[in-house]
Structure 1
């Protein structure tokens, strides 16, 4: 774990620096950093402090949160194919945002979209707790999550289908692709407290996740309170994924791919994978956001599209590898 951190943390710092100095505006690296630190008049400090800095911070926060939640989810379900979206939080947050766009709330009030998305995530948590029950196991949680996710997806499709305006439908589709463009420090301050609370909850699950590798009965015999562990997992995932979806849209595959890639490095202990995956997720999303600006700078390439193009082949490889091990 320490060796992985020794590599990942400088990588995150390097990518964060690159994220600050790379963009469509023709600004030299030294001039960009000077404007960020010293400020001053003119458009350059505005570009650095109000456009590039929030984008970089959100990439670290969202990528780290998705990596952390993915590692916790895979540890709890003891399945490398699990990911944060499995329990329906991201789909429900997206539904809240879609309703805000469709009803015109997002046009009337700037923060209506992220606040409605957070409300959707909260609703998903309440429904999950209600469906799974206080004593349900991991299988019950999976089934409840699939039900919540399917319902959120169906309602989102219904809103799109009934949308009278093609412009609103187009805005919904593009928002659901995920992006960090045009975000401000207001979005950072809105998401950061939820992500910090969620990360704290997920970080405290490490001992229980390690015990779960021996099975639920053995973990219970070791003093792990399984109901509290599951509640911490659901609430922590809801906080980090709901807040990320609220400010950036749906960004997939980070929570699935990053823990899988880093697991051989840190070993079999789920607790060792948590913060390593957080650093790996931050690095991956920073790199993907830089690629969005470099590969097609004249087109509005969405961040969620890039992560899907990277994650989908790795996901297929993971399925193939799992199939080979079970044969």
Structure 2
């Protein structure tokens, strides 16, 4: 018989002898949304008691880069350090609870679930026309290798049905919220809209632009993994006024293939980035620099021998 774990309002819980989910843990997420992107760091900073329960408290900090307009040539500036509302997680045996609206615990993950088991991971709500309870069913259990480490996972399914947007049918989840379908007991999910919360889901045809958080790095007392080839807290864009004035030019711009640099300064090295912040090239060459094969816009950051730096955008046609 399948086991069904429903959302419950919790009575005081005792903490198990094992370390709670997230104990001494730090997550780094890159994120992107309308007009902004950046990274967030989630760190265990202490314990607290609320609603008769023992909770781990997590501080959320980070940086964000903000576009000043919708066009490719609009300036990208780096906002100052951001501090966000704390996150509270509680563990009982293998069940992880999240504090909902700062006053109600709800079950987020059941890491004791086996094949065919179910749990309700968010409060019942008819948001956006969804008429099924937010319940997942475990349909696969396995092991992935992430950054050289074996990571247990379970894959979950949601209630599905055919929904018509106008006259077009779509087969999609029917609950008001979803989880990333692959869940890792060691660190949770690799993708969130709101960190460590269920993702809102629409069933009425509306298109909603969420901010998506993607896991970059995770560490605790016994594990350290990276899912990126960049530093965990990497955001390469800084505001224009943080660049010292340098007589500097990239040409031709736009270009079909190669660019060259013209400056009166002595150049130490040149870096080429995508608009998503990925470093694509680093060279000491200032002539005939080969851009990536894809058309689009790239950021050119030039470091001078005296420590000055300059930035320019270039379009590859």
TM-score (norm 1): 0.21
More strand by share: 2
More helix by share: 1
Specify which structure has the bigger relative contact order, considering alpha-carbon pairs within 8 angstroms and separated by 6 or more residues.
1
TM-score (norm 2): 0.22
